[in-house]
């Protein structure tokens, strides 16, 4: 009898432990369903290249969403990523094309600018105790305005190194190929996974998201961690900008308007709790895939217009937020 | 003098005055107002007319922010409301018929109220964070607006409809008169009844308000409905001004301008006390800034840089932590008493963060000490 209750207890505890995977599994199911639906409408949908194209077209979004995952895990928010991305495309294009600086140096500089911007916002958020929402909103205005100051026209990129990097395709088999950006994005995901799950910094991120007060009482470096997650997000936004420059081979100050919402939506659909403390970077990959597959589905339908993408993403976002509510309500 | 600087509207008004005066440096033409065809004309009148949509949205946003929430969907609602009204008018054989315009307005406002209700139910009913609950409609709403307009820009030629955005009444722009009427109505309802106090109570501490018997859920839903309504009216003004509806660009960035106006007006984002008059002045500050920059010979898009600086400055000055850190330093390293909030630049002092959170923290700490 006691062994039975013990076993039941253990089972219940295992189920409770697994509960944090439910949103991620739900996302996986949705993505699988969308592929099945796409296949039923058009058999070409299930080809490997369609799948890989989702990654090629969304590599920059994936990188930015990974950065956003860090911020959301601490319970913060970063609205500046879309503008920082635009500023990065403009900086890269103008410095390489109009000033003739060597492209590797420019890329490093752009990444440094993004990271420093993020760190600055993080410092203001932490030391002056201002809501992340409004500080990153100011960052959003500032970065977009600076991008406009550089130029309001499109700057084409003709630099041989950048063009080669952008056009280069890596063959996986005779028919399947991916771009360099996808490789970079996947490396970013892998590094983020390692950082979040196997380093002290990652533990601190989860701890602060769970309860900042407890984290502080435990003696964790709250200030450093909180400032650095915005640094990570700024770095990812800048890297996303570099990838976007490679993807479009141009810089434009109106790139990525509303991208912050897409990134937040992808992270939430990927199962990260908006209140912080729970979520997975691999879920974010699924979230980006879900939004990407919606786009592909709508392109395949042909007679549907692009604004259906926004509506579908909105509905999906609502569904996952409600799912989160149900799950967290059951926990308490 | 301190009594003056301590007044809650002092800093917003000072900011507005400084901006207006900076225009004077480039010539007195800015302040010239002349009467032409029985209407008032001049830069100042333009500012009043152009600020109307933001002023109306900001009024609704003030109430939402006073409850500790935020409404990101207003920009999309502006697009939806304008699109619905223009679509209805464009389909009628006689666009100038009064009944057509009234029906169009009714449809647009009705749908805006329903969408506001949707936001309110998500926030108060389902308990979703306001920023996320309204994010859904912000993302999907623009898609809906484009769906209504079919991705096109709908043009209308209705003369009665044009009055809302660019007509004049008693020499003043109709849109501004509308703002004044809405403000008067709101102030009477909010400040002459207990409603305003109840909203502040819910913003200060939702749980405590519920325990003392305030129906905070109904109130919360109510403020989002009002915000939706305001956005709907603003959508009518915007679309009527240009006599067209653009699902893609109408109301773009409005939510940010509205939040900015509320913050400049002295309402803290953490909820609690609010000031409708301050918000109106905040909206005027933004519009004056825009007009000033347009009249300077710089790229208009750089306005975002100035806005960023303004947001950051205002927020820093409002932050109790910032004031404590910076103003203590000013008083010398020896210390002295920490600065009283009365001497600080923006009065009244914003709420000390979320009171329920502070209480919760204290409770946790004492529990842990006991253990």
Cβ neighbours of B231 (radius 10 Å)? 33
Chain B, nearest residue to A79 by Cα: B256
- Best residue of B143, B256, B286, B366 to probe chain A, by most A CBs closer than 10 Å: B143
Query: Tell me, what's the pLDDT at B360?
Result: 45
Q: What is the mean pLDDT of residues B358-363?
A: 43
Average pLDDT over chain B reads: 82
- Best residue of A314, A329, A330 to probe chain B, by most B CBs closer than 10 Å: A314
Q: Measured on CA atoms in the order B204, B210, B215, B221, is the torsion positive or negative?
A: positive
Q: Which of B70, B58, B76 is nearest to B179 (CA)?
A: B58
Q: Which residues 6+ apart lie within 8 Å of B206 measured at CB?
A: B67, B68, B216, B356
Record the pTM: 0.82
The yes-or-no verdict on residue B57 having pLDDT over 80 is yes
Query: Tell me, what's the pLDDT at B329?
Result: 63
Whether B305 sits inside 8 A of A149 (CB atoms) is yes
- Best residue of A311, A312, A325 to probe chain B, by most B CBs closer than 10 Å: A311
B117 or B360: which carries more pLDDT confidence? Answer: B117
Q: What is the ipTM of this complex?
A: 0.78
Query: Tell me, what's the pLDDT at A16?
Result: 61
> Cα distance from A213 to chain B (closest Cα, Å)?
7
Quick one: tokens of B92?
């009628």
Whether A137 sits inside 8 A of B137 (CB atoms) is no
Chain A, nearest residue to B248 by Cα: A307
3-state secondary structure of B200: helix
> Cα distance from B152 to chain A (closest Cα, Å)?
12
Query: Tell me, what's the pLDDT at B215?
Result: 87
Whether A129 sits inside 8 A of B142 (CB atoms) is no
Cβ neighbours of B31 (radius 10 Å)? 13
Among A124-138, A271-285, B318-332, the range scoring the smallest mean pLDDT is B318-332
Of the candidates A127, A275, A315, the beta carbon closest to that of B140 is on A315
A72 or A278: which carries more pLDDT confidence? Answer: A72
> Cα distance from B244 to chain A (closest Cα, Å)?
19
Q: What is the pLDDT of residues A120-171, one digit of tens each?
A: 999 999 998 888 888 998 898 899 989 988 888 889 988 888 888 888 888 8
Among A45-59, A185-199, A303-317, B212-226, the range scoring the smallest mean pLDDT is A303-317
Q: What is the pLDDT of residues B232-256, one digit of tens each?
A: 999 999 999 988 888 878 887 888 8
Q: What is the pLDDT of residues B3-22, one digit of tens each?
A: 666 677 888 888 888 888 88
Query: Tell me, what's the pLDDT at B367?
Result: 42
Q: What is the mean pLDDT of residues B196-208?
A: 87
Q: What is the mean pLDDT of residues B164-188?
A: 89
Whether A321 sits inside 8 A of B128 (CB atoms) is yes
3-class SS string, chain A: CHHHHHHHHHHHHHHHHHHHHHHHHHHHHHHHHHHHHHHHHCHHHHCHHHHHHHHHHHHHHHHHHHHHHHHHHCCCCCCCHHHHHHHHHHHHHHHHHHCCCCHHHHHHHHHHHHHHHHHHHHHHHHHCCCCHHHHHHHHHHHHHHHHHHHCCCCEECCCHHHHHHHHCEEECCCCCEEEHHHHHHHHHHHHHHHHHHHCHHHHHHHHHHHCHHHHHHCCCCHHHHHHHHHHHHHHHHHHHHHHHHHHHCEECCCCCCCHHHHHHHHHHHCCCCCCCCCCCHHHHHHHHHHHHHHHHHHHHHCCCCCHHHHHHHHHHHHHHHHHHHHHHHHHC
Q: Measured on CA atoms in the order A308, A311, A315, A321, is the torsion positive or negative?
A: positive
Among A248-252, B197-201, B206-210, the range scoring the smallest mean pLDDT is B206-210
The yes-or-no verdict on residue A118 having pLDDT over 90 is yes
Query: Tell me, what's the pLDDT at B221?
Result: 95
Q: What is the pLDDT of residues A96-117, one digit of tens each?
A: 988 888 989 999 999 999 999 9
Q: What is the pLDDT of residues A60-69, one digit of tens each?
A: 999 999 999 9
Q: What is the mean pLDDT of residues B334-347?
A: 42
Percent of chain B past pLDDT 90, that is, above it, reads: 33
CB B268 within 8 A of CB B350: yes
Query: Tell me, what's the pLDDT at B2?
Result: 64
Q: What is the mean pLDDT of residues A78-93?
A: 93
Query: Tell me, what's the pLDDT at B354?
Result: 44
Whether A138 sits inside 8 A of B139 (CB atoms) is no
Q: Which residues from chain A sit within 8 angstroms of residue B143, using beta carbons? A: 307-311, 314
Q: What is the pLDDT of residues B67-107, one digit of tens each?
A: 999 999 999 999 999 999 999 999 988 888 889 999 999 99
Of the candidates A152, A258, A325, the beta carbon closest to that of B127 is on A325
Chain B, nearest residue to A268 by Cα: B132
């Amino acid at each position: 009898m006691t062994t039975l209750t013990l076993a039941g207890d253990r089972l219940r505890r295992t189920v409770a432990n697994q509960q944090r995977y439910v949103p991620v599994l739900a996302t996986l199911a949705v993505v699988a369903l969308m592929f099945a639906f796409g296949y039923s409408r058009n058999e070409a949908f299930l080809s490997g290249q369609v799948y890989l194209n989702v990654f090629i077209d969304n590599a920059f979004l994936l990188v930015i969403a990974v950065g956003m995952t860090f911020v959301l895990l601490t319970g913060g928010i970063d609205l500046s990523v879309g503008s920082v991305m635009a500023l990065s495309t403009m900086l890269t294009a103008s410095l390489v094309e109009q000033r003739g600086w060597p492209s590797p140096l420019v890329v490093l500089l752009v990444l440094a600018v993004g990271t420093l911007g993020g760190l600055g916002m993080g410092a203001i958020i932490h030391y002056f105790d201002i809501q992340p929402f409004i500080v990153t909103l100011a960052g959003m205005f500032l970065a977009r305005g600076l991008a406009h100051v550089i130029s309001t026209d499109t700057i084409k990129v003709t630099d041989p190194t950048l063009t080669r990097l952008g056009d280069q395709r890596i063959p996986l088999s005779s028919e399947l190929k991916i771009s360099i950006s996808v490789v970079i994005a996947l490396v970013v995901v892998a590094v983020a996974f390692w950082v979040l799950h196997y380093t002290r910094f990652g533990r601190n991120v989860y701890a602060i998201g769970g309860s900042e007060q407890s984290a502080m009482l435990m003696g964790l470096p709250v200030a450093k961690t909180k400032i650095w997650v915005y640094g990570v997000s700024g770095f990812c936004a800048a890297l996303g900008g570099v990838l976007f420059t490679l993807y479009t081979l141009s810089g434009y100050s109106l790139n990525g308007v509303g991208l912050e919402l897409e990134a937040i939506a992808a992270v939430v659909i990927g199962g990260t709790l908006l209140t912080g403390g729970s979520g997975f970077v691999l879920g974010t990959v699924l979230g980006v895939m879900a939004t990407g597959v919606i786009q592909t589905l709508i392109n395949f339908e042909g007679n549907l217009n692009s604004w259906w993408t926004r509506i579908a993403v909105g509905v999906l976002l609502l569904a996952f937020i409600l799912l989160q509510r149900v799950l967290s309500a059951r926990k308490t | 003098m301190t009594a003056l600087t301590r007044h809650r509207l002092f800093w917003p008004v000072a900011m507005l005055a400084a901006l207006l005066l900076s225009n004077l440096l480039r010539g007195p033409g800015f302040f010239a107002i002349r009467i032409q065809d029985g209407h008032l004309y001049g830069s100042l009148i333009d500012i009043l007319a152009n600020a109307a949509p933001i002023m109306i949205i900001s009024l609704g946003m003030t109430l939402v922010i006073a409850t500790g929430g935020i409404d990101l969907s207003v920009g999309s609602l502006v697009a939806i409301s304008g699109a619905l009204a223009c679509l209805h008018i464009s389909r009628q054989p006689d666009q100038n018929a009064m009944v057509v315009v009234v029906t169009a307005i009714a449809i647009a406002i009705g749908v805006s109220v329903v969408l506001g209700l949707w936001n309110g139910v998500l926030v108060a009913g389902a308990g979703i964070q306001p920023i996320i609950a309204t994010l859904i409609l912000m993302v999907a709403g623009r898609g809906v607006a484009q769906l209504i307009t079919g991705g096109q820009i709908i043009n209308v030629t209705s003369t009665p409809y044009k009055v809302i955005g660019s007509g004049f009444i008693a020499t003043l722009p109709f849109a501004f008169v509308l703002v004044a009427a809405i403000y008067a109505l709101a102030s009477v309802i909010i400040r002459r009844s207990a409603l305003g106090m109840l909203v502040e109570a819910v913003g200060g501490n939702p749980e405590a308000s519920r325990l003392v018997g305030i129906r905070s859920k109904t109130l919360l839903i109510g403020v989002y409905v009002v915000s939706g309504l305001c956005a709907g009216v603003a959508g009518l003004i915007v679309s009527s001004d240009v006599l067209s509806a653009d699902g893609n660009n109408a109301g773009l960035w409005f939510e940010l301008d509205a939040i900015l106006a509320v913050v400049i007006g002295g309402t803290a984002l953490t909820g609690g006390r609010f000031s409708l008059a301050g918000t109106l002045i905040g909206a005027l500050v933004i519009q004056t800034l825009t007009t000033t920059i347009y009249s300077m010979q710089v790229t208009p898009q750089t306005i975002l840089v100035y806005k960023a600086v303004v947001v950051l400055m205002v927020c820093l000055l409002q932050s109790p932590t910032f004031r404590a850190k910076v103003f203590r330093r000013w008083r010398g390293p020896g210390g002295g008493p920490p600065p009283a909030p009365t001497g600080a630049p923006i009065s009244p002092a914003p709420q000390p963060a979320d009171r329920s959170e502070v209480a919760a923290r204290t409770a946790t700490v004492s529990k842990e000490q006991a253990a």
